[in-house]
Amino acid sequence: MRLYNTLTRKIEEFTPLNDKLVTIYTCGPTVYDYAHIGNFRTFCFEDLMRRYLKFRGYQVKQVMNLTDVDDKTIRKAAEQGLGLDEYTKKYIEAFMEDCKTLNMESVEFYPRATRTIEEMIELVSTLLEKGHAYEKDGSVYFNISSLPTYGRLSGLDRREIRTGVSVDSDEYEKDDVRDFVLWKGKKEENEPAWHSPFGEGRPGWHLECSVMSMKYLGETLDIHAGGEDLIFPHHENEIAQSEAATGKTFVRHWVHCKYLIVEGKKMSKSLGNFFTLRQLLEKGYDPMAIRYTLIAAHYRKQLNFTFDSLENAAKAIGRVESFYNAVSQTANRNPRSGSVSELITKYRAQFTAAMDDDLNISGGLAALFEFIREINTKYPDSQVPEDNKTEILAFLDELNTVIACFHFGEELADEEIMKLIDERNQARKDRNFARADEIRDQLKEMGIILEDTRDATRFKRLKQVKS
């Protein structure tokens, strides 16, 4: 498998340090608000990478941290007059729920910064002992001139480095390269703070990720991922802290996902194109169409998220699900065909070759759709020989362990059907017959037939869809 490495700026062969085990650290959300679809582009991409590594037979040990103390969380909690924990609880729960909604796999560890303070203090102490950090006005700073490799990840020119000048803010621009803060001394009376040998204070954001990654995954990680905005200063500073402390390579493979923009523009509240996942769900979009849209473009290309792309995603999903249902209900009694197995082998290889090539998902999805097209050309209406049914469905299930956007052969619960019937009746009242027919057809595809009587609509199930 080959993967682009931001550090070397090359596509490299990926092999984990320990045989079949891959360790991954992904910078998680800052839990000061609901996560937006830009965040979820990065998170869904990371989920796709995780799922594909598992598809390739690796075992994955992944950490996604929760940044529950930083400049933003503190400011927001104070605005609402809440304690930090009280404030972030809501957004942590919402994030976990959103991840489930987007069918992301749970990762192995979700550490919280506020629960890892002791280890952070230890790392700062080590950096002070080794002469890579200094104390100033109650805070501790990393001395970037003490590390000759500083700036490698983001390609900083060493001449830009200003020594002895420090910056307190967690986020700053590339033209502001300075000694960054490891431990921020307490300034305001009611600011959250912890005791430490360097005085009361709190950790800097960069320190949090160095500590939470090494605590769970060891001093050298296979993969560290995040959005492209994190390359500088966040990841540059993580490398500095970790490598200065351990003297070892911190991360073997840096993976960064390009930004999502909306309808051609940077997402911003003032442009009215800023969407959280929840807002899109409220507008009635299917979470699987959202996931599909987020993962279907290559992670190193900017993604232009449009409402058209959501509609197209829903159609693509519908095509695959209908194919699955049609195959599972085939009535073709002909003997098993060997050429179907050959097609499965061919398209599995095509899918794998594409995904092995720096997670080329477009190629991976193309393999799936070409497979469907070829089967349908051979067997009109997907009426494959019954004895080939199991292998085809198993192949689709196998690809779906990676793509994870399809609900195959799942039966709708009675309540879900009733909800659709209510929606159809309302659509008919509104004289929106197109929508009413769409619902009837959608149900029919799942083997559910509607019967309109004078005073109510009843439904019956034709047969079991699941094979």
Query: What are the residues binding ligand AMP (CB under 6 A)?
Result: 27, 29-30, 38-39, 41-42, 226-227, 229-230, 257, 259-260, 267
Q: Nearer to Zn ion by C-beta: 135 or 229? A: 229
CA dist 213 → 152, 203, 204, 377, 383 (Å): 20, 15, 15, 50, 51
Q: Nearer to ligand AMP by C-beta: 300 or 428? A: 300
Q: Which does 259 bind (CB under 5 to 8 A by kind): ligand AMP, Zn ion, none?
A: ligand AMP
Q: To the nearest whole angstrom, how small is the minimum distance from the Cβ of residue 6 to Zn ion?
A: 14
C-alpha to C-alpha distance for 128 and 141, rounded to whole angstroms: 9
Q: To the nearest whole angstrom, how small is the minimum distance from the Cβ of residue 33 to ligand AMP?
A: 8
SS (H, E, C) 5-32: ECCCCEEEECCCCECCEEEEEECCCECC
The residue written with tokens 């900083």 in the block is: 156
The answer to whether the beta carbons of residues 261 and 267 sit under 8 Å apart is yes
Q: To the nearest whole angstrom, how small is the minimum distance from the Cβ of residue 171 to ligand AMP?
A: 9
Q: To the nearest whole angstrom, how small is the minimum distance from the Cβ of residue 31 to ligand AMP?
A: 8
Comparing CA positions, the residue from 348, 462, 441 lying closest to residue 399 is 348
Q: Which does 41 bind (CB under 5 to 8 A by kind): ligand AMP, Zn ion, none?
A: ligand AMP
Q: Which does 144 bind (CB under 5 to 8 A by kind): ligand AMP, Zn ion, none?
A: none
Helix ranges (H only) for 68-176 are 71-79, 84-101, 117-129
The answer to whether the beta carbons of residues 287 and 44 sit under 8 Å apart is no
Per-residue b or e along 192-217, where b marks 16 or more CB atoms closer than 10 Å to that residue's CB: bbbebebeebbbbbbbbbbbbbbbbb
Judged by the rule CB under 5 A, the positions of this chain that interact with Zn ion are: 27, 209
The answer to whether the beta carbons of residues 1 and 56 sit under 8 Å apart is yes
Tell the burial category of 368 from Cβ atoms under 10 Å away from its Cβ (0-12, 13-18, 19+). buried
Output helix, strand, coil percentages for the chain, rounded to the nearest 5.
50, 20, 35
Q: Which does 260 bind (CB under 5 to 8 A by kind): Zn ion, ligand AMP, none?
A: ligand AMP
Q: Nearer to Zn ion by C-beta: 249 or 442? A: 249
Q: Which does 96 bind (CB under 5 to 8 A by kind): ligand AMP, Zn ion, none?
A: none
Q: Nearer to ligand AMP by C-beta: 202 or 440? A: 202
Q: Nearer to ligand AMP by C-beta: 61 or 206? A: 206
Q: Nearer to ligand AMP by C-beta: 41 or 178? A: 41
Q: Which does 30 bind (CB under 5 to 8 A by kind): ligand AMP, Zn ion, none?
A: ligand AMP
C-alpha to C-alpha distance for 397 and 334, rounded to whole angstroms: 24
Q: Which does 229 bind (CB under 5 to 8 A by kind): ligand AMP, Zn ion, none?
A: ligand AMP
Residue, CB closest to ligand AMP: 227
C-alpha to C-alpha distance for 203 and 121, rounded to whole angstroms: 8
Q: To the nearest whole angstrom, how small is the minimum distance from the Cβ of residue 259 to ligand AMP?
A: 4
Q: Nearer to ligand AMP by C-beta: 3 or 443? A: 3
Q: Nearer to ligand AMP by C-beta: 4 or 371? A: 4
Q: Which does 209 bind (CB under 5 to 8 A by kind): ligand AMP, Zn ion, none?
A: Zn ion
